[in-house]
Chains A and B, each alone.
Chain A
Amino acid sequence: MKNTALTSTHIDLGAKMVPYAGYQMPVSYDGVNIEHETVRNGVGVFDVSHMGEFLIEGPKALELIQKVSSNDASKLTVGKAQYSYLPNEKGGIVDDLIVYRVKDETYLLVVNAANIEKDWNHISKYNTEVGAEMRNISDGFSLLAIQGPKAVEAMQSLTSVDLSKIKFYNFEVADFAGIEYVIISATGYTGSGGFEIYCKNSEVQQIWDKVFEAGADFGIKPIGLAARDTLRLEMGYCLYGNDINEDTSPLEAGLGWITKFTKEFVNSENLLKEKENGVKNKLVAFELDDRGIPRQGYDIVDNDGQAIGTVTSGTMSPSLNKGIGMGYVPADRSQVGTKINIQIRKKAVPATIVKLPFYKV
């Protein structure tokens, strides 16, 4: 089991620790509901240093990224990031990721912790023909997500950059909390705004401490992975391993918006055919009409009790105080407003397909 550079800090704070993607990670500190509420209305900090980071560099960097990823990285200028995924060769997804253009010929790929080795091997396989420089810097870098509507105001004293000027999915390489160069990125997985800070492991404790000092007047709190999941699910953001995986179609998952057929990439021909023929299933969002909590793996059933799909993510929404979830259903039954049922143990609980996000910030 690996630790992040902050593991002992979390334990000292009384966090409940769980193994996650090979790391010992904080799942909650004060309780998931209060942590969720803190991010929705104030500001909270996540240690998500388990995430993986690859640097792709050199004159061939863009060519490699264009080949292995679905979004169009040629649109990135220095200081911009984009959400993307790595398609596999059989219609599914190797991983989803964020691509940052750090310099003209330097890109940072941020991937899921559980997939670091798999992604590295996958990209390397395609790099044998391309020949870009690749570096896996995951073990040396930390990532803090400072999220919530008060993040900008609470963190402004820590940097010379005007944080309010960094637009969504843009970033600056700048000073922060006494460290000369970190990446301050206006990204996140909560829907409530804020930043992600990439720094070296040796720097993260100082940054963590200063972030809490600066945020004290704003009621800043540490936030665990449990609230990270409820926050992302209220937005309808996909979680790799739940909503998307090696066997799910990115088009069925609603990732068509980051699938750019203006270029050739891994499996793009087949994905284009799939798009033209129309997808069989769709990932939909639903709210329960009655009490209950949908969970990953529960059946989605029609009114005759026939299974028509499976729940991929589900939880009790702390903001809405009702059961919410996502799952795949046949495309012809995926329209917003469609009534479905979620099989929760012996009961088929009625639910309604809704538009995302579940919760409007």
Chain B
Amino acid sequence: MNIPAELKYTKDHEWVKIEGDTATVGITDFAQGELGDIVYVEVETLDETLDKEEVFGTVEAVKTVSDLFLPLSGEIIEFNEALEDAPESVNSDPYGEGWMIKIKMSDASEVNGLMSAEDYKALIGA
């Protein structure tokens, strides 16, 4: 199970990479494995400002659909449009080409509420 140490995590199995006031968000290796073959990532909240834990999109696997929850409050400034043609990147490279959105954070202190790689590892029992 790949859980990069430099990233932050949520209980909803998302990863967050902080760069200045921008946060890049995707789903974890564990999450993509649980979902199976991902066929569709839908994000219709581009340019919207949402609160932490609001639904910003959905990820559809062949068997299931899951909501995507915003890990940090802020404006969704970018969606990884490459996923429209290659949603399978979320399976093959969840922390790289499979990234989903970038957020302009509205409250950087919320980062303290995210989980470390160690905590996340404990959560999934890896």
Contacts and interface: CB of A to CB of B under 8 A. Distances in A.
Interface of A: 16, 27-28, 31-33, 226, 229-230, 291-293, 295, 315-316, 318, 345-346
A31 B40 contact: no
B80 interface: no
Interface of B: 33, 36-37, 39-40, 42, 44, 58, 60, 62-63, 65, 91
A226 B36 contact: yes
Contact of B60 (A16, A28, A316, A346): A316
A120 to B, nearest CB: 30
A58 B39 CA distance: 52
A293 B37 contact: no
A293 B60 contact: yes
A346 B62 CA distance: 20
A33 B37 contact: yes
Contact of B40 (A226, A316, A346): A316
Nearest to B39: A316
Contacts of B63: 27, 32, 226, 229, 315
Nearest to A317: B62
Contact of B36 (A16, A291, A293, A345): A16
Contacts of A293: 39-40, 60, 65
For the complex of A and B, the 10 pairs showing the least CB-CB separation, nearest first, are A316-B39, A32-B62, A33-B37, A293-B60, A31-B37, A32-B37, A226-B63, A316-B62, A32-B36, A28-B36
B36 A318 contact: no
A345 B58 contact: yes
B65 A318 contact: no
Contacts of A345: 58
B80 to A, nearest CB: 16
A293 B60 CA distance: 8
Interface centre among A293, A345, A346 (most CB of B within 10 A): A293
Contacts of A16: 33, 36
Given A27-B36, A31-B91, 7 more contacts: A226-B63, A292-B40, A292-B42, A293-B39, A315-B62, A316-B62, A345-B58
A251 to B, nearest CB: 30
A27 B33 CA distance: 12
Contacts of B36: 16, 27-28, 31-32, 226
B33 to A, nearest CB: 8
A315 B64 CA distance: 9
Contacts of A316: 39-40, 60, 62
A18 to B, nearest CB: 10
Contacts of A229: 63
Nearest to B91: A31
